[in-house]
């Protein structure tokens, strides 16, 4: 039985060609924008941005853990991991 997938003749159909640089057209120097784009931020978005600055993340602790991870010195006891896994499996699901 002879099974072919057609890839053997692909190079004949699609012969490789060198890439040509694309022509870049610049708008004329005298062109002026028709209209200006504008954006409005809602009050909810403003509150989100402000609350992001009030985060309770301890950046010093995060930086220390990141440094230890990069250095390969961050270690977690296997018993602590096992306790968290078992606790997550036994606790009711959060909705």
Give tens-digit pLDDT for 34-71. 677 887 778 887 777 777 766 777 888 989 999 999 99
What is the maximal distance between C-alpha atoms in the chain?
71
Angle at 24 between CA 22 and CA 27, to 5 degrees: 160
Residue 4 falls within a domain, yes or no? no
Residue 73 falls within a domain, yes or no? yes
Helical residues (DSSP H) of the chain, grouped into ranges: 10-13, 43-53, 59-71, 78-90
Top-confidence residue, 74 or 35: 74
pLDDT at 12: 59
Q: How many domains does the chain have?
A: 1
Give tens-digit pLDDT for 6-40. 556 556 556 666 666 666 666 565 555 667 788 77
Residue 7 falls within a domain, yes or no? no
Question: Whose CA is closest to 75, among 83, 85, 88, 65?
Answer: 65
Residue 30 falls within a domain, yes or no? no
Residue 80 falls within a domain, yes or no? yes
The whole-angstrom separation of Cα 44 and Cα 48 is 6
- Does the structure show a pLDDT above 90 at 85? yes
Per-residue confidence band for 93, with pLDDT thresholds at 50, 70 and 90 = confident
Question: Domain containing 73: what range?
Answer: 59-90
């Amino acid at each position: 039985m002879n099974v072919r997938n057609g890839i053997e003749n692909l190079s004949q159909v699609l012969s490789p060609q060198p890439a040509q640089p694309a022509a870049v057209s610049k708008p004329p120097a005298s062109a002026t924008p028709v209209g200006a784009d504008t954006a409005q931020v809602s009050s909810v978005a403003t509150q989100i941005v402000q609350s992001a600055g009030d985060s309770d993340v301890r950046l010093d602790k995060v930086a220390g853990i990141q440094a230890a991870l990069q250095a390969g010195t961050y270690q977690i006891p296997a018993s602590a991991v096992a306790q968290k896994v078992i606790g997550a499996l036994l606790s009711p699901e959060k909705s």
